[in-house]
Structure 1
Amino acid sequence: MRPSSDIADSDPLRGDETIFGPELGEFPNADQRAQQLEDGEAMKTGTTTVGIRAGDSVVLATDMRASLGNMVSSKDVQKVEEVHPTGALTIAGAVSAAQNLIQTLQVETNLYEARRGNEMSMQALSTLTGNLLRSGAFYIVQPILGGVDDTGPHVYSIDPAGGMSEEEYTVTGSGSQYALGVLEQEYDDELSVDEAKTLAARSIKSAVERDLASGNGLNMCVVTADGVEITQHKDFGDFIDEE
């Protein structure tokens, strides 16, 4: 067992110089990795992502821009992915880490179903996601998990350190403060799926107008008990009247 003094001084993102390390989530080159992110040398999603619970479904939406420092590195990024037959994850943060997290969750949910003969619950999937982030191996990602299981629809906000909370609606990313203002004003717990899609689009559009790291269109995801549907839209007019 590691001495308490070593634990107090250690940083799982920066590596561990003690004779008891490294442990899970520690990286010998973490200083270089962190500096690359700080210097803008790693591709980031920037991002505005939104999750809304609507009736017996969940609506997730994101913008489509990725940045590399001060440059727009991609205008066509799918920032929401299916990770479970009735669950999806939005991503904000470092692209490579987010892609790895999504792949890991997809593998783990498939293994769970193969071994146990039933699908993982959203509570279990959210706990798994938080544990993976807490390990430090996915520096630095801030996802929203949305899904439907036998207990109904769920939206989980999960911070980069693995902290988790279930919400009726939530946002992440650099444009979150703008999107949240729209959600706070217009969310209603009796929203239909179509109304939630319109609200999600309005929230993303509000962020795109003010946040330089968000833009270039909209990923829209609807999760129901029947599965996950993800579509891409370059025009916000597909959901809202832009006049």
Structure 2
Amino acid sequence: MRTPTHDSDFSRTVDQLADNPNPYEPEVGSLPQNDLTAADLDNVNKTGTTTIGITTEDGVVIATDMRASLGGRFVSNKNVQKVEQIHPTGALTLVGSVGGAQSFIATLRAEVNLYESRRGEDMSIEALANLAGNFARGGPFFAIHPILGGVDDEGSHVFSIDPAGGVMEDDYTVTGSGMQLAYGHLEQAYEDDLTNDEATTVAARAIKSAAERDTGSGNGVFLCEITDEGVDIHGHHDFDEVV
């Protein structure tokens, strides 16, 4: 005998849920997974990249190049902004797959805003770094290795976050395909009493050095200056403007 709900939207929904042991998934706060494999990376836009973070007396300076490539062989974009503000006094670089990095930044920015609205105060940079590490380890953000820089009540901070979720703080750090070339310049030029203006010049020269030999880096530099008053990001296609 036909029931009032026979072949209704309700009955079809019940049939669909019958094959799902837990219709309430995904859990709140869980991250979606992806099916990308290493073989898929040849068709993924990557930033290639050299990114630098330096702590200073005034705050933090972050520098990145502007190039994105496809499969490491073809320059797909010459004007990529690889550093984004995600916190009132903090910023994160894009390193690795462009899609993964953009999704990572959007997720962290949402978490920071949610924290502020719930607690009425800014998240500390160390807490943000730990959250970023947890997301990098457990989320779908394929092949990323960003730098987080920021200023809070405890001072200036620069963290590198590896693809496995490792979080390491240092006075300065470099990630990306041009890191060895950039480190060579930073090891000689870094001093622990640099101002933001001085660190901007040091970082831009390190990016320029990497761009000379690393095919994944080039086309200019984006500079991000962070103080306790906020974040300022500006790009330069001509290195001579800043070195």
Question: Could you tell me the TM-score, scaled by structure 1's length?
Answer: 0.85
Max Rg structure: 2
Q: Tell me if 1:74 matches 2:102.
A: no
Cross-structure match for 2:228: 225
Task: Give deviations 1:101-134, integer Å, cap 9, x for gaps.
Answer: 0000110000000000000000100000000001
Number of equivalent positions: 215
Q: Determine which of 137, 146, 149 is the counterpart of 1:143.
A: 146
Q: Does structure 1 residue 36 correspond to structure 2 residue 40?
A: yes
Asked if 1 retains the 8 angstrom alpha-carbon contact of 2:103 and 2:141, the reply is: yes
Match of 1:56 among 47, 55, 58: 58
Tell me which amino acid in the other structure corresponds to 1:29. D
Map residues 1-243 of structure 1 onto 2, 5 A cutoff.
27=33, 29-31=35-37, 34-37=38-41, 40-69=42-71, 70-240=73-243
Give distance in 2, aligned partners of 1:109 and 1:26: 19
Q: Distance in 1 between matches of 2:191 and 2:35?
A: 46
Q: Return the alpha-carbon distance in structure 1 between the equivalents of residues 113 and 85 of structure 2.
A: 12
Structure 2: which amino acid aligns with 1:120? M
Is 2:58–2:195's contact at 8 Å kept on the other side of the alignment?
no
- Post-superposition Cα deviations, 1:59-78, rounded to whole Å, max 9, x if no partner, equal 00000000002110000000
Distance in 2, matches of 1:75 and 1:139, equals 22
Over the aligned positions, Cα root-mean-square deviation in angstroms equals 1.5
2:47 corresponds to which letter in structure 1? T
Q: Deviations over 1:187-216 (max 9, x none)?
A: 000111111000000100000001001000
Tell me how far apart the structure 1 counterparts of residues 31 and 214 of structure 2 sit (CA, whole Å). 32
Change (3 A) 1:236 1:28: closer
* Partner Cα separation in structure 1 for residue 34 and residue 145 of structure 2: 23
- The superposition leaves residues 119-152 of structure 1 with CA deviations (integer Å, 9 ceiling, x where unpaired) of 0000100000000001041111000000000111
Partner letter of residue 52 of structure 1?
Answer: I
Secondary structure of the 1:171 match is strand
CA distance in 1, matches of 2:188, 2:233: 26
Q: Percent identity?
A: 58
The Cα shift of 1:27 comes to 4.2
Unaligned runs of 5+ in 1: 1-21
Give yes or no for contact 1:136–1:161 (8 Å, CA) kept in 2.
no
TM-score for both structures, normalised by structure 2: 0.85
SS in 1 for 2:222: strand
Q: Determine the structure 2 residue equivalent to 1:18.
A: none
Moved over 6 A (4+): 22-26
